[in-house]
Amino acid sequence: MDSEKLRRYQLTMVSTYFSDTNCVNRFVVPDGTEQSYGSDFLALLHSGRVFTVNSRRRNGLILFKRYHAEFAGPGASVGGDYDCDCEWVIPIGNLSLLTPETYEERQKAYLIRRQWIRLIKQITENPIPQQRVQKILDQFDQYFPPEMLANIPDVAFALLVGVLPQTVGIVRRWGSNVDSRW
């Protein structure tokens, strides 16, 4: 196979994968049931209003953008112009969104959202996919109980740290014992 044919084949494979990752409105959870998530919260985000994830609860939102996902945890700002490109959301925990009353509250919420984004960025800087998955799972395990995390689909974690959903599934099954040299 010459290099031109090989290149066309590789481009086709990549474009086929990305078209599947854009449709995240339904997930199959580990017990085999299919669920849809977050349409009410998505409507709130698209309203143009700014909200703050309640910092007094263990809750948050995974926000799906076109090619990646972001996590907005306790205290973070969501909505407004910043999340108008959000295609789907997964609420985690008993989600409570508050409306910031003052300019200072809004600024603080934006800063906290930036901190959550920086945390995920630090995780994605690791070049080994399995280690990125293990780190994001460890981070979520610190904030949320295991039964809550079990219902978050592999594709959500995959889009948070830039790996394939299959990698998340393998790491979830075998933990940190996965050989990083695949």
What count of Cα atoms within 13 Å lies in the side-chain half-sphere of residue 181? 0
pLDDT tens digits, residue range 104-121?
Answer: 999 999 999 999 999 999
Confidence at residue 39, expressed as pLDDT on a 0 to 100 scale:
76
Using DSSP's 3-state secondary structure scheme, residue 65 falls into: coil
The letter for the amino acid at 9 is: Y
Q: Report the DSSP beta bridge partners of residue 140.
A: none
The letter for the amino acid at 40 is: D
Confidence at residue 178, expressed as pLDDT on a 0 to 100 scale:
54
Q: Is residue 166 part of a domain?
A: yes
Whole-prediction pTM value? 0.75
Q: Is residue 29 part of a domain?
A: no
- Which residues are CB-contacts of 170 (< 8 A; sequence separation ≥ 6)? 130, 178
Q: Is residue 182 part of a domain?
A: no
Q: Is residue 43 part of a domain?
A: yes
According to DSSP, the β-strands at 34-36 and 26-28 are: antiparallel
Residue 31 vs residue 123, higher pLDDT: 123
CA distance 97 to 78: 9
Tokens 């780190």 correspond to 135
pLDDT of 23 strictly over 90 = no
Q: Is residue 20 part of a domain?
A: no
Structural domain for 42, as ranges: 35-177
Q: What percent of the chain has pLDDT over 90?
A: 69
Q: Span 20-31, mean pLDDT?
A: 40
Q: Count of domains in the chain?
A: 1
Q: Is residue 154 part of a domain?
A: yes
Q: Span 156-163, mean pLDDT?
A: 97
pLDDT of 174 strictly over 50 = yes
